[in-house]
Amino acid sequence: MSRLTISRADGLLSVQDMGRPGHLGQGLSCGGAMDRMALIEAAALLGADTPLAAIEMAGAGGVFGVDAPMRVALTGAPMAAFLDDAPLRWHGCHLILPGQALRIGGVDSGVYGYLTPAGGIATPEWLGSRAAHLSIGIGALLDSGDDLPCGEDPDPDRPARVIEPAVRFGGGTLRVMDGPQTGLFADDVLEAFYAAGFRRGQRANRQGILVQTGKGCFTSDHAAGLASDVIGPGDVQLTGEGVPFVLMAECQTMGGYPRIGRVIPADLPRIAQAAEGAALRFQRLDASQADALWRDDAALLREAAGRCRNLIREPSTIADLLSYQLVGGVTAGRELEDE
């Protein structure tokens, strides 16, 4: 088993995958990556059949090394990346060799970057997932000197690839489907909520993200005495003061505050990647409109694979151009005739 070493951790780093669904009835939310599209895009780049466990990097990356040749995908929030001194394309996959240092800096836009080894991080699973669930003490933030087991790269010779990422790093419109408690809000409150412009607030973590507006607060007359109900990622929950929080991957499973609706899965990466101050709006969908937009992970992976292409390097950007054997594989061109 090969290993990925963290020589230095600069951001908040944790192992994340697609989480552990199926335990709501036992009070455990799914958890997993804040930007699930980043894991899907990484799988597309690496040619994997399903999303792999990765290092989620909030705010900034760090310095990483490997003990065996290993392709890694760099997805999610764009970060400055260098292999030794050579810049690496973000939204791409690259081969890292033992002895080389992969340096990942701070985010250019967005919040969460992802470093995915081609064989996936292979730390022990808990309830079928390797995802750190920090709020309940499962896993921990990664630190300098940590050394993570990885599955073997199934195809280290596969060429470097890049992907056109799904647009999601600068705020924008979040589509919200009506939920069980939408009807507890008066029509004028709903109208005002969907007309207002918001900004991502200062309070944001893996459990939830505050969104703020100068256009009032959004309360429900039914909030007092409401029985606690099942909540989940994407729910737009209004506190007692009528301030909206969008619940995220590590949210609790039950809550007593009313929810105006749920951000659809396709737009959750957009709120996860909205940096503090990013402009956001909400757009209301009914259930049938939302259902028409639903895609399973396999469909999203097929779609992401269609956005990948081989990395063609500009000769002018290659510092050591003369060291490349540019004419390797040239022949007389009669192989097919000889068959």
Partner 1 sequence: MSDARSPEVLPAGPDGVLVRFGLTPDPDAMAAAQVLAAELQDDAPAAAVEIAPALVSVLVRFDPGRTDRGAVARDLAARAERIAAARPVLPDPPRRWTIPAAFGGDHGPQLAEVAEKLGMSEDRAVQQICEADLRVLAIGFAPGQPYIGLLPRAWNLPRLAEMTPNVPVGAVVVAVRQIVIFGAASTTGWRQVARTGFRTFVPDRETPMLLKAGDAIRYAPIGAAEIEGLMTPDGMGGARLEILR
Q: Which residues of this chain interact with partner 1, rule CB under 8 A? A: 21-28, 126-127, 136-138, 177-180, 184, 222, 225-230, 232, 234-235, 252-255, 262, 264-265, 287, 290-291, 294, 296
CB of 256 to partner 1, least distance (A): 9
Dihedral (C-alpha) 239, 242, 246, 249: value to the nearest 10 degrees? 10
Q: What is the DSSP-derived secondary structure letter of residue 219? A: -
Which residues are CB-neighbours of 63 under 8 A, at least 6 positions away? 6, 7, 8, 101, 102, 103, 104
Query: Smallest gap, in angstroms, from Cβ of residue 70 to partner 1?
Result: 30
Please, which residue, 100 or 252, has the CB nearer to partner 1?
252
Where are the extended beta strands (E) located within 118-224?
147-150, 161-163, 172-177, 198-204, 208-212
Backbone angles phi, psi at 104, to 5 degrees: -120, 120
Is 330 buried (19+), middle (13-18) or exposed (0-12) by CB count in 10 A?
A: exposed
**Amino acid letter at 18?**
M
- Other C-beta atoms closer than 10 Å to the C-beta of 255 total 18
Give the dihedral of Cα atoms 121, 124, 129, 133; nearest 10 deg.
Answer: -90
What is the smallest separation between the CB atom of 292 and partner 1, expressed in angstroms?
11
Which neighbouring-strand residues pair with 210? 245
State the nearest-atom distance from the C-beta of 263 to partner 1, in Å: 10
To the nearest whole angstrom, how small is the minimum distance from the Cβ of residue 235 to partner 1? 8
CA atoms of 199 and 211, how far apart (whole Å): 6
Q: Which is nearer to partner 1, 86 or 254 (by Cβ)?
A: 254
According to DSSP, residue 210 is labeled E
Crossing angle of the two packed helices 297-305 and 36-46, in degrees rounded to 10: 50
Smallest gap, in angstroms, from Cβ of residue 224 to partner 1? 9
Residue closer to partner 1, measured from CB, 191 or 291: 291
Element (H, E) at 302: helix 297-305
Q: List residues bridging with 253 in a β-sheet.
A: none
* Nearer Cβ to partner 1 (181/213): 181
Q: Residue 266 CB, nearest distance to partner 1 (Å)?
A: 9
Pairing of strands 86-87, 60-66: unpaired
Which CB, 86 or 298, lies closer to partner 1?
Answer: 298
CA distance 177 to 182: 9
**Residue 148 Cβ vs partner 1, minimum distance, rounded to whole Å:** 19
Q: Which is nearer to partner 1, 85 or 296 (CB)?
A: 296
The pair phi, psi for residue 46, each rounded to 5°, is -85, -10
CB closer to partner 1, 109 vs 135: 135
Identity of the residue, 207 or 212, whose beta carbon is nearer to partner 1 in the bound complex: 207
Instruction: Give the shortest CB-291-to-partner 1 separation in angstroms.
Output: 6
Nearer to partner 1, 152 or 297 (CB): 297
